[in-house]
Structure 1
Amino acid sequence: MHVGARPAVAPGRLFIGGRWEPAAAEAVRELVDPATGQMAATVAEAGACDAGRAAAVALKAFEEGPWPRMSPRERGRILMRAAELLRQHAEEFALLESFNVGKPITLTRRVDIPMAIETFEYYGNLAAGIEGAVRTPAAPSLAYTRREPIGVIAAITPFNFPLVLSSKKIAAALSAGNTVVHKPAAETPLTALRLAEVLQEAGLPDGAYNVVTGDAEAGQALVCDPRIAKVAFTGSTVVGKRIVALGAETLTRVTLELGGKSANLVFADADLDAAVPTAVKAFTFNTGQFCMAGSRLLVERPVYEEVLERLSAACAQIKVGDPLSAETMVGPLAGPAHQAKVISFLERARREGIDVTSAKCPDGPGFYVAPAVLTGVEQQSVYVQEEIFGPVLTVQPFDTEDEAVRMANGTPYGLAAGLQTRDVSRAHRVAARLDAGTVWVNTWAAMDISMPIGGYKQSGYGRENGPEGLDEYLQTKSVIVAL
C-alpha cells in the first residue's frame, strides 16, 4: 500500500493553442500506478490528426504571434515567472512525478523538481544574452549577424525523467523564441500537462507551448510534419535512428540524446569507502532508468574481490519499496513491459551460469525489480553491450589502464563514463581518453544546468544544458549593408 495520499489527477485533455481539448477521435489512455499496478488516471490519446493540428497552431503562433517578436528580455521574464510558479507548487509536482513514474518521493523533491526550476531560471536569464556580432569585412560595408529562432520545435521526451528532460528542451527552445509541440512519453504525461497550466499562468502566449499526449503515432506524425522545423528527442537509439530517417524527407533538424552503457572505472588507489557507494548510486539511481547510469563497473584486479564484497554488503542494505515512503531508496520500474524486459535479462543470465546477486524485493503488487550485480560476464555479452535500463550492474576486472580504457570504450555507446582514483594525473589522462560526452571523477550523476550533456557514437548528437543547449535552438543570419 502507498504511504500517504495520491495527488489529485483530473481526466486529461490535449493542450493546443492555449485551450484544453479532447483528442479528435475522443480516444483515451488509462495510466497505471507503477507502485500498485492499478489504474491511476485517464488522459487523452492523440492521433496523427491531433499532432498535425498542434503543429499548425504552433506554426501560426511562430509566424504571427507575439512570442518570437518579444525582446529576449521579455521572454526571459516569463520563463523566470514560470520557474517561480514551479517553486510555489514544488510539492504538488514532486508528488505528481513520484506517482507518474514510481520515483521515490525523496528523489523527486531533492532532484527532479529543483532541476526543472533551475532550468527555467537558467534559460530565463540566458535569454537576455541572445545577440549577434558586428564583423569587419574587407569591402566598405556594415556587416553583422543575427541569432534567430528556428521555428516550431517538436519535443519528444521519455518516461524516466518526464519533467527534467522536458524542461531542458522546452525552456531552451522558448528562450530562443521558438514555439513548441511537446509529445511526452505515453506512460508518463502528467507533469507535462500540469506544466502547460504553469506556463500559461506565467504569461506564455497561446500556441507557444502545446501538449499532445499519446503513443508513437502522434510522435511519428510530428517528425514527418513539414511544419516542424526541428525535432528534439530523448529516448532509445533504435527510435532515434528512425527519427533521423523520417526527418530526412523534410530535412528537419534533429538533436538526439540516446542510449548509454556507461562504464565506471575503479582503480586500486581509489578511496573504496567512497568509490563503492558511488558505484551503487551510479547503477541504482532512478531504479537504473537513467541513460547515464553507471551500469558497468570495471575494477582493477588488486581490489576486485574487496570491491565485490563491499558491493554485496551495500546492496543488501538497499531499501526497495513504496515510492512515497521516506525510507525507500529504489522504487518500481515505470511499467509492466519494462519490468518484464529487465527480468528477462536476469533470468537469461542465470540460465547461462552467470553469478547474479540481488537485493531483496518487496512482496505484493507493483513493477519492482531488485538491484542485481552480475559477475563473470564477457566483454561481448549482451549484459555488457546492450542497455538494460534497470538496476543491473556488470562487474569486470582489469589489469592495466590501457585495458580499462579499451573495455570502457568497447561498446557502441558514449553518453557518460566515470573513474575513481586518488591520482590527479590519472584522472585527467583517463578522462581525456574516454569516449563519452560526460566524464565524472570520484562521483556520479553530478549534474548542473550550466554543463552540457550529450552523446558520442550511438548515444546521439547535439547538446542540452549550458549555452550550448540554447545554441541548438538558434540559427545564424548574416546581414551585409553596402556603404
Structure 2
Amino acid sequence: MASAEIPFSSYHRLYVGGEWLAPSTGAFDEIPDPATESVFGRAPVGGVREVDAAIAAARHAFDHGPWPRLSTAERAARLEPFVAWLAERGDAIVRLIVTETGVAQGIARAVGYDTSVAVGRAILSLARTDLDRNLPLETVPLPDGTANVGAGVVVREPIGVVSVITPYNFPLLMGVVKSMQALVMGNSVVLKPSPFTPFESLLLAEAAEAARLPQGVFNVVTGGVDVGSLLTSDPRVDMVSFTGSDAVGSLIQAQAAPTLKRLVLELGGKSAMIVCPDADLDLAVAAGLRSMTMHAGQACGLTTRHIVHNSIKADYLERLTEMVRGVKIGYGLAPGVTMGPLIRASQRDKVESYVAKAHADGGRLVFGGRRPAGFDHGFFYEPTLFDGLSNESAVVREEIFGPIAVVIGVDSDEEAVAIANDSDFGLAGTVWSRNMGRAFEIARAVRTGGVSINGGPGNFSVHAPFGGIKRSGFGREYGIEGLHEYSYAKTIRFRTA
C-alpha cells in the first residue's frame, strides 16, 4: 500500500472554482480527535460569501464549460487520476479517518478507505458501459396505405448543479460515492461536509485538483446551517444529495420544494435483524455484536432491533453477553481495538439519555449502559443491550446513532415480520435461518430498502443499490441505479425513412 503523506492539519482553505480560498469570515474550527479530545487540526469555516461563489462557479461550469458536453466515457477518463490520487495515499488516509472520526482502524480501512476506492473505480467502469437505451422498432401505418418504421432512444443527461451534503460517520466514502456519481454523469458539484469531519472532504478537493478537473466542476465549502440552507434552497442548484438524519432530511425537502429540486435523501434507520429458531447462532450473535460496535453504532444501516424467536432467545442473550467481553474499546490505531469513541460529547450525552429512557420504560439492562472504566479522555461508551422493552419504547423506535441495541422476543415468523415493519424507518435488515426458502420469504415480507440473508455473500457490492423507504428517505446510491439518480432520461424519437 502506498503511503504518500497528507498534511491534513494544514488544510486551511476552501476549494472554489478551482482555487484555494481563505474563508472571508476569518473563522476556523478546532477539530478534536474523538478518542483523546485533543485538537489535531484547525478547519476553515465557510460562510454565505463562499457558498455563493461556489454555486456560481458550479453554475458557470455547467452552463458554459465543456464538462456536461463530454461523453460519460470521456468524463470517466478525466476522473481516473482522481481515484488514483486516493489509491496512492492509503495508509495516510486511514490515519486521517481514524483521527477525525474515531473509528477503529479495521473499519477505517475496510469501509472508510478500501470501499471508497473500490466504489470510485466501479463508478468509472459503469460509466464506460452503454447507459442509453434503444426503444423497440414499431410499424406505424400511414394515411396512403404504406407504413413507416418508428424508432427512438432514451439518453441519460446531466441534471445541473448538485449540492452534496455528507454526514460525519463516513465522510470520505459518502463524498466519493455522491460526488463521483454526479460528476461522471456530467453535473457540477458543491460538496459540504459535516462540521465535525471537514478534512476528508478537503482532501477530495486536492484529488480533484490533481486530476485537473475544469474550474468550477468540483467545489468544497465548509460551514454551518447558513451554508447548508443556501445549498438546499438556491435556485441555481438543481439537485441535493444528502445523507443524515430524518429530521434534517425533512427540512431539506421543505427548503428544496419551492424550486422543485431533484432529491436523493438517505436518512438512516432503525433496522431489524430477525433470528429464526433454526439460525446459525454463532453467525447471528456475531452480527448482533457488530450492530452495536461498528463505529460505536454510528452507521445508518446497522440492525439495532434484534427480533429473536423466544425458543432461542435465552441462548442468544447468553452468547451475546459472552462475546461482548471480547470487545476492546480504545484509540482506533491501537493494536486489537475493535470499537472507538462516539464523535462528540454531545452524541455521548444523547446515548446516555436513551439509556435513561430505556430504564424508565422498564427495560432490563443485559450489559453495558455506562462509560467504560479507565478512560479519562475521549467520548467512549460501552456497547449496551436491553431486553424487555416493547416496540413502542423510544429506544426501539428512534434512531440513536450509538452503541445501543434491544432484543425483542417473538413466537412466530409472522410476529417477527409485523414487529420489523412496525417502524417509521425502512433502510436495511437481516434474516438468519438455515432454511433459505423460509429466510427468502421473510426477506420479501419485510418493508425495507434492502435485506441480507445470513450475512449475505460476505462482501460489499458496489453494484447493489442502497437506500430506504418511509422515513429512511428515497433515492438509491451505487450501481446503475445510483448513476441514474444523477441524470434524467431524455427520449428522442424518429422515423427510419
Is 1:27–1:44's contact at 8 Å kept on the other side of the alignment? Answer: yes
Match of 2:428 among 407, 416, 429: 416
Closer, same or farther in 2 for the Cα pair 1:353/1:465, shift >3 Å?
same
Q: Does 1:478 align with 2:488?
A: no
Match of 2:475 among 449, 462, 473: 462
Match of 1:242 among 247, 251, 257: 251
Is 2:11–2:199's contact at 8 Å kept on the other side of the alignment? Answer: no
> Any idea what SS the aligned residue of 2:35 has?
coil
Aligned-residue offset at 1:326: 2.4
The match for 1:358 is 368
Is 1:259–1:459's contact at 8 Å kept on the other side of the alignment? Answer: yes
Match of 2:168 among 138, 155, 159: 159
Amino acid at match of 1:454: G
Closer, same or farther in 2 for the Cα pair 1:103/1:362, shift >3 Å?
farther
> Any idea what SS the aligned residue of 1:79 has?
helix
Larger CA deviation: 33-42 vs 184-193: 33-42
Residue deviations 1:176-226 (CA, integer Å, cap 9, x gap)? 011100011111011110111112212322211100111121111110111
Aligned-residue offset at 1:353: 4.2
> Any idea what SS the aligned residue of 1:438 has?
coil
Work out the CA distance in 1 between the residues paired with 2:133 and 2:107: 42
> Any idea what SS the aligned residue of 1:30 has?
strand
Amino acid at match of 1:364: D
Aligned-residue offset at 1:24: 2.3
Alpha-carbon RMSD across the aligned residues, in angstroms, is: 1.8
Structure 1 gaps, min length 5: none
Aligned-residue offset at 1:145: 3.0
Is 1:186–1:215's contact at 8 Å kept on the other side of the alignment? Answer: yes
Work out the CA distance in 1 between the residues paired with 2:48 and 2:304: 37
Amino acid at match of 1:411: S
Work out the CA distance in 1 between the residues paired with 2:278 and 2:154: 51
**Equivalence map 1:77-476=2 (5 Å):** 77-135=77-135, 136=137, 138=140, 140=148, 143-356=152-365, 357-358=367-368, 360-443=372-455, 446-476=459-489
Aligned-residue offset at 1:351: 4.5
Aligned-residue offset at 1:142: 5.8
Closer, same or farther in 2 for the Cα pair 1:411/1:134, shift >3 Å?
closer
Work out the CA distance in 2 between the residues paired with 1:431 and 1:352: 30
Residue deviations 1:33-62 (CA, integer Å, cap 9, x gap)? 101112221111112232121011001011
Residue deviations 1:58-96 (CA, integer Å, cap 9, x gap)? 010111112212222221123232222211111111111
Aligned-residue offset at 1:130: 4.7
Residue deviations 1:436-462 (CA, integer Å, cap 9, x gap)? 111011117852111000001110000
Is 2:162–2:240's contact at 8 Å kept on the other side of the alignment? Answer: yes
Work out the CA distance in 2 between the residues paired with 1:362 and 1:242: 41
Work out the CA distance in 2 between the residues paired with 1:387 and 1:411: 11
Closer, same or farther in 2 for the Cα pair 1:361/1:446, shift >3 Å?
farther
TM-score, length of structure 2 as denominator length: 0.93
Larger CA deviation: 261-270 vs 444-453: 444-453
Is 2:476–2:482's contact at 8 Å kept on the other side of the alignment? Answer: yes
Amino acid at match of 2:275: V
Amino acid at match of 1:407: I
Structure 2 gaps, min length 5: 143-147
> Any idea what SS the aligned residue of 2:451 has?
strand
> Any idea what SS the aligned residue of 2:206 has?
helix
Q: Which runs of 4+ in 1 moved over 6 A?
A: none
Work out the CA distance in 2 between the residues paired with 1:92 and 1:60: 34
> Any idea what SS the aligned residue of 2:132 has?
coil
The match for 1:74 is 74
Amino acid at match of 1:181: V
> Any idea what SS the aligned residue of 2:488 has?
strand
TM-score, length of structure 1 as denominator length: 0.95
Aligned-residue offset at 1:352: 4.5
Is 1:181–1:212's contact at 8 Å kept on the other side of the alignment? Answer: yes
Residue deviations 1:233-265 (CA, integer Å, cap 9, x gap)? 100001111111110111111110002001111
Identity, % of aligned pairs? 36
Is 2:289–2:324's contact at 8 Å kept on the other side of the alignment? Answer: yes
> Any idea what SS the aligned residue of 2:216 has?
coil
> Any idea what SS the aligned residue of 2:407 has?
strand
Aligned-residue offset at 1:290: 0.6
Is 2:361–2:389's contact at 8 Å kept on the other side of the alignment? Answer: no
> Any idea what SS the aligned residue of 2:463 has?
coil
Amino acid at match of 1:49: R
Is 1:339–1:368's contact at 8 Å kept on the other side of the alignment? Answer: yes
Work out the CA distance in 1 between the residues paired with 2:373 and 2:480: 42
Closer, same or farther in 2 for the Cα pair 1:134/1:376, shift >3 Å?
closer
Is 2:163–2:190's contact at 8 Å kept on the other side of the alignment? Answer: yes
Is 1:7–1:95's contact at 8 Å kept on the other side of the alignment? Answer: no
Work out the CA distance in 2 between the residues paired with 1:8 and 1:476: 40
> Any idea what SS the aligned residue of 2:175 has?
helix
Larger CA deviation: 5-14 vs 378-387: 5-14
**Equivalence map 1:8-23=2 (5 Å):** 9-23=9-23
The match for 2:56 is 56
Is 1:7–1:96's contact at 8 Å kept on the other side of the alignment? Answer: no
Aligned-residue offset at 1:404: 0.3
Larger CA deviation: 367-376 vs 78-87: 78-87
The match for 2:145 is none
Aligned-residue offset at 1:127: 1.4
Aligned-residue offset at 1:478: 2.4
